[in-house]
Amino acid sequence: MAWITVDHPPVNALSRAVRAGLLSALRSALADFSVRAIVIRCAGRTFSAGADVTEFDKTPEPPHLPAQLSDVTETIEGATKPVIVALHGTALGGGFEIALAGHYRIATRDAKVGLPEVKLGLIPGAGGTQRLPRLIGAAEALQWITSGNPVTAVRALELGAIDEIADGDLAQAALVAAHRLVHDGRPPRRTGELAAAAADDAAIADIEATVAKKQRGLLAPRYCIDAVRAASTLSFAVGLQRERQLFLELRESPQAAALRHAFLGEREVAKVPGLTGDIAAREVKAVAVIGAGTMGGGIAMCFVNAGLPVKLLEAEAQALERGIATIRNNYAATIARGGLSQGEMDARLRLISPTLSYGDLAAADLIIEAVFEDLDVKRRVFEQIDAVARPGAILATNTSYLDVSAIAEFTRRPQDVVGMHFFSPANVMRLLENVRAKKTAPEVLVTVMRIGKAIGKIAVLVGDSDGFVGNRMLAQRTREAYFLLEEGAMPQQIDKVLTDFGFAMGPFAVGDLAGLDIGWRNRQARAHLRKPGVRDCDLLDKVCALGRLGQKTGAGWYRYEKGSRLPIPDPAIEQLIIDHSRQAGIARHAIGDEEILQRCLYSMINEGAKILGEGIAARPVDVDIVWLHGYGFPAWRGGPMFHADQLGLSNVYAAILRLRERFGPDFWTPAPLLSELASPGKRFYPSGATHGDG
């Protein structure tokens, strides 16, 4: 028996050296007469995460993936001795393709397998699209490949994607299987030699329709369909060639570059410059949340979902009861959808201790304030926290716009105060902006970054500025959207331009969903910041004054049928906008989609450049991840800064100068960083690689 063990922490990615090592070990085992069977397995916590994603962005050097990985898979499949692949943890992408090429697949019961390449803008490139349909049928294989979602070992066994589940020791079970196969004496079962799966046209058409709807704008799912079709219509060898050709084409695409950037960026944001090294995090075992409203309730849920006990404090009993009832309803809805058991819900609710007394917060390690967005209310709350919190407790505010450094000064321990800006609904949205105030201690920052990960968030560290990163950029886009309305566009046109770009929803539909009163109240609170003589659009005030606060009142920028969330363009709003333009003395005219897109996007990109220039975000990746996970920026465009690089910064800069010509400098003065980078070849991302090896 030859045991080949891939040992390449942390996830056994199939980097160049691993591929070469695997191939050489295979060749030696095949050449060794004393070897009767081969087991391939992986060391560490998981089988293999597939191709090394970081290699895609390096200068191409032969031998290329997938050619070299195909050498591995073809050597495995062609072996005259049985090759058993023993799977644990996750076997994904190229990792699972190695298994598919093997003659017998055995997995631990908790293992998961899958082909997630589509999430990186690719198709499987080492035979996955040709072998999986031969094992489980074309329609099922297409489900796996177009969704990219992993499947449990139990399901994979049911469908025939694997051959056995090992309940005891995996190596022992692999050994037993190997003996059986050797003694059986039959030639190895080669997946590529199995009869081609007949295409189920109706099932494929269904998947095509789903892809067109749910993965709008994405190239890769359509290529997946092409490749799986090839498995039914072409010979295995020609099918592999077709797969390779499609894979290589996609690998060079801007979409794949953007999705790789999104994958790696999500992990990169955790590695904050200056905060790595030996700064120890503080221990957080007990949490308190102040305010049981929209945000406080959701924040409490995040912590109890991760098993941490939470004291939930309100000013009044009634508000507390309401808050707890909402949490209970949220969990009940999850149970109804099959996402939680009653027992789990009860256990989570038991971790929440409602209270009206600040004295109960004395033992908390982390206290998060989520009361009304009003500096005076926050002052009173922080003074009370300061009086009771234990020394070393972290005091966080969930404020959206207020100055965290000012809030810190309401306490005698500004070094312990930090912003933790969750997004609504807090128990669902993955983004967490952790806000560094002037005096926040480094170990407090390390702790809130770590706790963010512990509760399943993608935490991005940002600086203290009006709206931090996300809302500050959003405010620019919102402003342009209103200006476009008063110049001639309608909400449905602007929303369509942005959904066509790839956003899940347009700004007006989002406003209706969130409730227009949030923005309205914010406008009122910030009225004193408006500069005389600087253009301001008060259309939102006019809409809200009519009691149209969005979906919850049945009307906002759109109208809604009872019980429906479908936005319907409303002639009453159109008239209101037309009247508004007339009153404001603005001559309405048709505005092209291209102009709408540029004004909405470039206003954000320019603000992003200011944010970077001011050091509010340390790196462009921080800005991009905020937008990808907090505001539904399409992942396949990589985020606003990455997208700007793809557009070419000199083009963005030139367009902003043209807008300055038309609308003046108040809103369209290019950010100094953008001016600096506005020459061919310069980028926000200095490394510049958007194309990869492979």
> Count of CB atoms within 10 A of residue 192's CB?
20
Q: Which stretch binds ligand NAI (CB under 6 A): 27-35, 285-293, 434-442, 491-499?
A: 285-293
Regarding 427 and contact with ligand NAI (CB under 6 A), the answer is no
Nearer to ligand NAI, 89 or 323 (CB): 323
CA 607 to the chain's CA centroid: 22
Helix extents (H) in 537-684: 539-545, 571-584, 593-613, 620-630, 640-647, 649-663, 665-668, 672-677
Select from ligand NAI, ligand 3HC, none the partner in contact with residue 120, using the beta carbon and a kind-dependent cut-off of 5 to 8 Å: ligand 3HC
CB 83 to ligand 3HC: min, Å = 19
Regarding 62 and contact with ligand 3HC (CB under 6 A), the answer is no
Coil, strand or helix at 430: coil
CB 88 to ligand 3HC: min, Å = 12
Which residues, other chains included, contact 213 with Cβ-Cβ below 8 Å and sequence gap of 6+? none
CB 295 within 8 Å of CB 422: yes
Q: For residue 463, give Cα distances in angstroms to 249, 372, 381, 442, 618.
A: 40, 22, 23, 13, 8
Regarding 373 and contact with ligand NAI (CB under 6 A), the answer is yes
How many helices (H) does the chain have, and how many strands (E)?
A: 29, 16
Regarding 491 and contact with ligand NAI (CB under 6 A), the answer is no
97 is catalytic: yes
CB 369 within 8 Å of CB 378: yes
Angle, helices 254-268/620-630, rounded to nearest 10 degrees: 100
The vertex-134 CA angle with 129 and 140, nearest 5°, equals 70
Q: Per-residue x/- marks for ligand 3HC, 372-411, CB under 6 A?
A: ----------------------------------------
Select from ligand 3HC, ligand NAI, none the partner in contact with residue 298, using the beta carbon and a kind-dependent cut-off of 5 to 8 Å: none
Among 22, 50, 612, 617, binds ligand 3HC (CB under 6 A): 50
CB 124 to ligand 3HC: min, Å = 4
Q: Per-residue x/- marks for ligand 3HC, 243-272, CB under 6 A?
A: ------------------------x-----
CB 13 to ligand 3HC: min, Å = 4
User: Taking CB positions, which residue lies at the least distance from ligand NAI?
Assistant: 293
* Alpha-carbon torsion angle 218, 224, 229, 231, nearest 10: 170
CB 505 to ligand NAI: min, Å = 15
Q: Which stretch binds ligand 3HC (CB under 6 A): 52-60, 78-86, 393-401, 661-669?
A: 52-60
Among 2, 38, 65, 449, binds ligand 3HC (CB under 6 A): 65
Instruction: State the Rg of the chain over Cα.
Output: 28
Phi, psi for residue 429 in degrees, rounded to 5: -70, 135
CB 497 within 8 Å of CB 597: yes
Nearer to ligand NAI, 150 or 556 (CB): 556
Burial 204-227 (b: 16+ CB within 10 A, else e): beebeeebeeebeebbbbbbbbeb
CB 323 within 8 Å of CB 292: yes
Q: Per-residue x/- marks for ligand 3HC, 88-107, CB under 6 A?
A: --x-xxx--x----------
Q: Per-residue x/- marks for ligand NAI, 376-405, CB under 6 A?
A: -x--xx----------------xxx-----
Regarding 693 and contact with ligand 3HC (CB under 6 A), the answer is no
Q: Would you name the residues annotated as active-site residues?
A: 97, 117
Question: Which residues lie near ligand NAI (CB under 6 A)?
Answer: 290-296, 313-315, 319, 323, 370-373, 377, 380-381, 398-400, 422-424
Question: Which residues lie near ligand 3HC (CB under 6 A)?
Answer: 10-11, 13, 49-54, 65-66, 69, 90, 92-94, 97, 116-117, 120, 122, 124-126, 128, 267
